[in-house]
Amino acid sequence: MGLRIAIVGYGKMGRSIERLAAEQDCEVARIFRSTENANAVALNRDSLFATDVVIEFTMPQAGPQNLLRLIEAGVPVVTGTTGWFAELPQIREVCESKNGSVVWGSNFSVGLHHFRATVAEAARRFAREESYDAWGWEIHHAAKKDAPSGTLLALAGDISRSGYARPVSRQKGLFRISRDRGRAAIARSRTNFRKRRSQCNSLDAVRHWLRRFSQIFR
């Protein structure tokens, strides 16, 4: 029998995960919609008793509360919600004290993680080139709710942590990280044609990690 998952959040990502679950040997045991889960009230041991793992895709204002309730309920969770990472120290502390399991990330695309490594290396090299400035620009589908996205914020963080101390301009909008000097520009772009793969990767995290570890993972 496959893993029994609960989905918290039934937006575009939640519905896609429901549709793809069977392909990843997962059974959807429960779906929690926002209408029944205000302030995470629906998440408890009783409502999750038939669940092996929870996948959480909601909104920044709801994510931390959901995670705290899920950790308290003793159910491993994979979260793809972004925009809440300022609360990560508290989540980490609670997770470790409760011996919980949380996998989180600003983006579950393998290609994006390779892109981030490329951007970080470029930032390290351009840190010494004072005449170049860095900026980020992204374009999303009309249903995208957070802007700038968690992914663009993560890319900007990668640039800063790589020794590039100058400001990184972020433009709402393909992720495009560029450096320019007058009319000369160097750009690195990534267009996400494989959103379905990203959704499958969140299910991969469910199958391969959470049954083996009791920690918080990025």
Would you please indicate which residues are annotated as catalytic (active-site) residues?
A: 140, 144
> Beta-strand (E) ranges in 88-147?
102-104, 133-138
Residue type, 14: G
d(CA 175, CA 152): 7
Residue with tokens 């999750």: 48
User: Closest by alpha carbon to 138, among 154, 122, 124?
Assistant: 154
d(CA 137, CA 158): 15
